[in-house]
Structure 1
């Protein structure tokens, strides 16, 4: 349950950029989100993922349980302490204007998540199965010099899909996410490469070992369930030898007929 959190933040930033007063200042888990506000003197949005919960089956720690895992998606809305420029269409951020701006930004973000028609929205709709909870609270941040930056923190508790299975080909959603990410630019391609490295480890696995890894089972449990080979592996080889050829000897084959049946051909009729 780590790759799904990363994917959620990436998709969120692509959906929200250019759709709010913050423009392109929508950052993926920044360490110092206030810097973007004070540097640009414009509104900004930061997105994080919080608590992730699931009900694993057995020793499976990747979240593939009977129910969809839940994840907290947290986004913070900031407006600068001084008047903003034309991005807010002349709206003053002094006094009550800052609260109005943040309220409108929250509406803009939620609208961007559910009312667009593009590849990123399709990914979001598939990754987030539904919402279980919504929380929005105001925060007032005081920085050095006494200036105060209004902020609102919104938490969406989402039901999400599972992480991709280790050592197995990507399922349709993750394959689509990988393709769209690679077409989004050099930085996004680097993210896609890092995700693929994490998914492909420990390398390509045979189908029964994919089941073993995905469910967190021991080899004995896989064999007992009829999902793995009974033959022990050869020395230095984690998998049993692959059956490559079957040869039959017709002279040794006997035809067994049930009582009442006949094996006579047409010429014997």
Structure 2
């Protein structure tokens, strides 16, 4: 989706893990539906996912790195229990709601909100990444044959920050620099957290790796400009800021002679069409 979507999911997971009655039964981007996950759990659990990302870039120079301006973050909560069937077999599932389970779900929702609002590291980063909160919806997680079940969805409609620019190492005090440093500070002895420590290197490499991109191209990407527009604004340096091997490409011209036929003219054919002006012409 985007780096900011990844960051928001990670911050949500790290803020909620161990902060609610679900304990460590918190899962990021779990693909199985609740009735499958619950087979492995006999206590409350939480799943985290981003179900939708969208944006409405405006103007000719809209940047793709700033294109996503809306994310739907879905936090799903359920309570799993074991029940004994009449034949003595054990049935695992999401229990139908009763007063006690409703109380449990209400308190779990409150604990989620509290963790995201007060966690000094991951809750703070979560709030910085989401920038604006457009709305919240609380939905029941499911129903079968008209019977409601002890599962809830919290849907956050978020306006996130833009993805970071390319080819720039995040400064230590910046949002992305702080996020990467916090990931690296996680407990390496915890297998789950160790994966997030490794994530720091992946994110930093993706942001900082220039891939042969020059500084003027970073600026053009930020502004969503094509080369011609960047050149007109004086962003492209002298020599067109061309990369190695690029000069031969821009020396090719397509000429339409009106009948729909395209004639490709490069430096080698210039002298045929315009004698004395080819690459071998005297200067």
**Alignment TM-score, normalising by the size of structure 1:** 0.73
How far, CA to CA, are the matches of 1:134 and 1:60 in structure 2?
28
1:95 Cα deviation (Å)?
2.8
Match of 2:169 in 1: 169
Kindly report the root-mean-square deviation, in angstroms, between the aligned alpha carbons of the 2 structures: 2.8
Mapped pair 1:199 → 2:200: no
How far, CA to CA, are the matches of 1:204 and 1:174 in structure 2?
22
Moved over 6 A (4+): none
1:111 Cα deviation (Å)?
1.0
**Alignment TM-score, normalising by the size of structure 2:** 0.70
Residues 71 and 160 in structure 2, CA contact (< 8 A), matched pair in contact too: yes
More off after superposition, 47-56 vs 129-138: 47-56
How far, CA to CA, are the matches of 2:201 and 2:243 in structure 1?
34
Residues 168 and 205 in structure 1, CA contact (< 8 A), matched pair in contact too: no
Deviations 1:47-71 (A, max 9, x none): 111222333253522216xxx8221
How far, CA to CA, are the matches of 1:60 and 1:5 in structure 2?
17
Match of 1:227 in 2: 235
Question: Any stretches of 5+ residues in structure 2 without a counterpart?
Answer: 84-94, 189-193, 248-283
Residues 43 and 80 in structure 1, CA contact (< 8 A), matched pair in contact too: yes
How far, CA to CA, are the matches of 1:235 and 1:14 in structure 2?
42
1:233 Cα deviation (Å)?
5.1
1:78 Cα deviation (Å)?
0.8
How far, CA to CA, are the matches of 2:131 and 2:97 in structure 1?
39
Q: What is the total number of aligned residue pairs between the two structures? A: 223
Residues 81 and 93 in structure 1, CA contact (< 8 A), matched pair in contact too: no
Mapped pair 1:110 → 2:118: no
Question: Any stretches of 5+ residues in structure 1 without a counterpart?
Answer: 84-91, 240-269
How far, CA to CA, are the matches of 2:140 and 2:97 in structure 1?
16
